[in-house]
Structure formats: structure tokens, C-alpha cells
Amino acid sequence: MSVSGDPFCTSAWNGFMINLKHCVKFYFAQDIGGFFIFMGVVFITGINTLIFYGLTKIGNTSGANPLIPIISVGVLSFLLCMITLGLFDDAIRATLMCFAIDMDLNNGSPQYGPPTFHEKLEEIMDEKFAKNFDNAQVA
């Protein structure tokens, strides 16, 4: 709606069609992004739990069992990481949607974005074209 000014239903349909058209790109980026988010969650949760475990071993003079507090810190760290790092998943989806809209509005070549984005995109397209050209000559 904000890009084209169309009514809600028309915009929803156009967004759905863009998702279908660029499904492979969206899936690939979401998959890679999901992996990095998962690794971040596991790493941060593990580090927080290890630090808390170390603190309980250093300051524990009563001999009390720290298992329940350690589990609590691990669960709370996991939930907090999922909430905060989960926002990157939305950022990936929004960035891809903007890229897809830019490509569709400009006949398949994006017009907006920083110069470094366009340089990298040209490198990728040149490599893809060279690979397809080499495969066509072999056949």
C-alpha cells in the first residue's frame, strides 16, 4: 500500500505475487539468516549460562545446589535472545521485499541502494552470465 498507493486487497495480492516470483531468493536468504540467528541464540545462551555457572562456583560458600538457578538463567537467556535476535528475521524479510519491489518496478534491475550494493550485484550477475555462457558453449 505504501509503495503503490493501491487499496489493501490489491496490495496484498501484489505482495503475494512478488513473494511467489522471488520465492527462491526469499527462501535462501531466510534459511541463511535463520541459521545465523540460531547460532547467535545458542552462543549467547551458552556464554550467559557458563558465566553464571562460574559465578555460582566462585561465590558459593553455603554448598547449595545451583542447578535450578542455572537452568533459570539458561531459559531466560534463550527467551531474551529469541526475542531480540528474532527481529533480524523481520529485517531480512523487509529488505528482500524492498529489493523485489525495486526489481519489479524497474524491469528486473534494481535502481536504489548504495553504490557498493550495485557493485556486488554486478559481480554476481557477471559471474552468473559467464557460467551460463560457458555451459552453453560446452553443450
Which residue bears the cell 554476481?
124
pLDDT at 134 over 60: no
62 DSSP 8-state letter:
S
Q: Are 35 and 45 in contact (CB under 8 A)?
A: no
Q: pLDDT tens for residues 25-70?
A: 888 888 898 899 999 999 999 999 999 999 888 877 777 788 899 9
Write down the pTM of the prediction.
Answer: 0.66
The per-residue pLDDT for 131 is 65
What pLDDT digit, counting tens, does each position of 105-117 carry?
Answer: 888 778 888 888 8
CB-CB neighbours of 77 under 10 Å = 19
* Distance of alpha carbon 87 from alpha carbon 32, whole angstroms: 15
Residues 49-54: contacts with CB under 8 Å, at least 24 apart: 49/73, 49/74, 49/77
Handedness of CA 100, 105, 109, 113 (dihedral sign): negative
Stretch 98-127: mean pLDDT: 81
